[in-house]
Amino acid sequence: MNASTNSNIQFKHYLETSKVKGLAIPAGLQQLLLAVADTCTTLSHEVAQGALIGLLGSAGTGNVQGEVQQKLDIIANDLLIEGVQACKSLAGLASEEMELPVAVQGTGDYLLLFDPLDGSSNIDVNVSIGTIFSILKKQDPTAPLQTADFLLSGRHQVAAGYVVYGPQTTMALTLGDGVVMFTLNKDTGQFVLIKHAVQISPATKEFAINMSNMRHWAEPVRRYVEECLAGVSGERDKDFNMRWIASMVADVHRVLSRGGIFMYPWDQREPHKPGKLRLMYEANPMSFLVEQAGGASTNGEQLIMDLQPSDLHERVSVMLGSKDEIERLQRYHAKV
């Protein structure tokens, strides 16, 4: 199955007939979203083959993040470029796996940013992974593409979403007017709408963080997590459950599906870096989805989507999900 010949007819119909804040979705944005959906349909099939087609393991190369690239990181990156580069509405794209943005021959002004394969450490152990994408609009459509065109705050996103390759292949999407979810029918190759108006409960009893980093966290995070661990025997009026999948896309999908809080905060292992996760193609798209679903997303001091980026691959401390818990964390960071 390849992206070009198996277009997602049902998803296309959804885009053609939906309204965003009462307005039709611009045709150029529809075209780009359909190309992403088609590519992720192909990627879903590739991911499901794994070892059968030699997809597992390292590619033996490194990326701008200083990470060892997995074969699937590169395959996903190449498939996405191939899948969208013919979009007339696209001006350029940027990826976790490429140091610089790529100009495409499109005459449009959309900018696509993506984490082609999130959760790479889970590829070889058959745990859910995914693709995260964010769409911006070039502010000056006439000038030649440059990196600075991408350095817009998360508030400028016109669309964001992810496709999680798990037991189901499910897409979450926001265009700024709520969150919808589609599951891929693998018999027909169609993304089918399964949820609209996704909402995150403000209260939760579930937190997600990599506990092995506890001794490295800043005090407000340690205080928050220690209180969650203590539950009713401590400051909180409930006991908490913990999850950590180590694929942001899967952890955030759980938060969107049943509430919760996801944290990858700054820690002192690399004190000069604000965090591990990347602002432009991980934190911003996920924050857009979470805010549109009634949740909140902060770096402790500011809402993530308010941050003004200065580098395409800059990192950020991330705490997102159920609003009551995020507000508590913000209070702890403000020391009130």
Measured between alpha carbons, how far is 290 from 275 in angstroms, rounded to an integer? 19
117 is in an annotated binding site: yes
Q: Contacting Mn ion (CB under 5 A), which of 12, 28, 40, 96? A: 96
CB of 264 to ligand AHG, least distance (A): 6
Cα–chain center distance at 311:
18
The span of 41-49, 90-98, 122-130, 145-153 binding Mn ion (CB under 5 A) equals: 90-98
Closest CA to 172 of 23, 20, 293: 293
What residues contact residue 137 under an 8 Å CB cut-off, 6+ apart?
109, 110, 111, 156, 158
Count Cβ atoms below 10 Å from residue 313 Cβ, excluding itself. 17
Buried b (16+ CB within 10 A) or exposed e, 77-106: bebbbebbbebebbbbbbbbbbeebeebeb
The CA distance from 47 to 55, in Å, is: 8
By the rule CB under 5 A, 251 interacts with Mn ion: no
- 105: which 2 tokens? 């021959």
270 is in an annotated binding site: no
Q: Which does 308 bind (CB under 5 to 8 A by kind): ligand AHG, Mn ion, none?
A: none
Q: Is 267 near Mn ion (CB under 5 A)?
A: no
What stretches of 50-165 show up as alpha helix (H) in DSSP?
Answer: 71-84
**Cα angle 240-241-246, degrees, rounded to a multiple of 5:** 130
Our CB check for ligand AHG shows the closer of 87 and 245 to be 245
Binding segment toward Mn ion, per CB under 5 A, in 176-184, 237-245, 282-290, 315-323: 282-290
Question: Which option in ligand AHG, Mn ion, none does residue 246 bind, with CB closer than 5 to 8 A by kind?
Answer: ligand AHG
Q: Which is nearer to ligand AHG, 118 or 149 (CB)?
A: 118
Residue that is written with structure tokens 């992974």 in the block: 129
* Contacting positions for ligand AHG (CB under 6 A): 67, 96, 115, 118-121, 210, 246-248, 264, 276
Contact region with Mn ion (CB under 5 A), list: 76-84, 87-95, 119-127, 186-194: 119-127
Nearest alpha carbon to residue 217 among 209, 206, 228: 209
Q: Which partner in ligand AHG, Mn ion, none is near 264 (CB below 5 to 8 A by kind)?
A: ligand AHG
Q: Is 311 annotated as a binding residue?
A: no
Q: Which does 200 bind (CB under 5 to 8 A by kind): Mn ion, ligand AHG, none?
A: none
38 in a labelled binding site:
no
Residue nearest to Mn ion (CB): 118
The mark string for 29-68 relative to Mn ion (x by CB under 5 A, - otherwise) is --------------------------------------x-
Stretch that binds Mn ion, among 76-84, 100-108, 230-238, 279-287 (CB under 5 A): 279-287
Residue 106, CA atoms < 13 Å, CB-side half-sphere: 28
Could you tell me which residues come within 8 angstroms of residue 278 by beta carbon, excluding any fewer than 6 positions away? Answer: 65, 96, 115, 313, 314, 315, 316
Q: Is 314 in the site for Mn ion (CB under 5 A)?
A: no
Residue 34 or 117 with smaller CB distance to ligand AHG: 117
Instruction: Residue count of the chain, please give it.
Output: 336
**Binding residue positions for Mg(2+):** 96, 115, 117-118, 282
**Binding residue positions for substrate:** 118-121, 210, 276
Q: Which residues contact Mn ion by CB under 5 A?
A: 67, 96, 115, 117-118, 120, 282
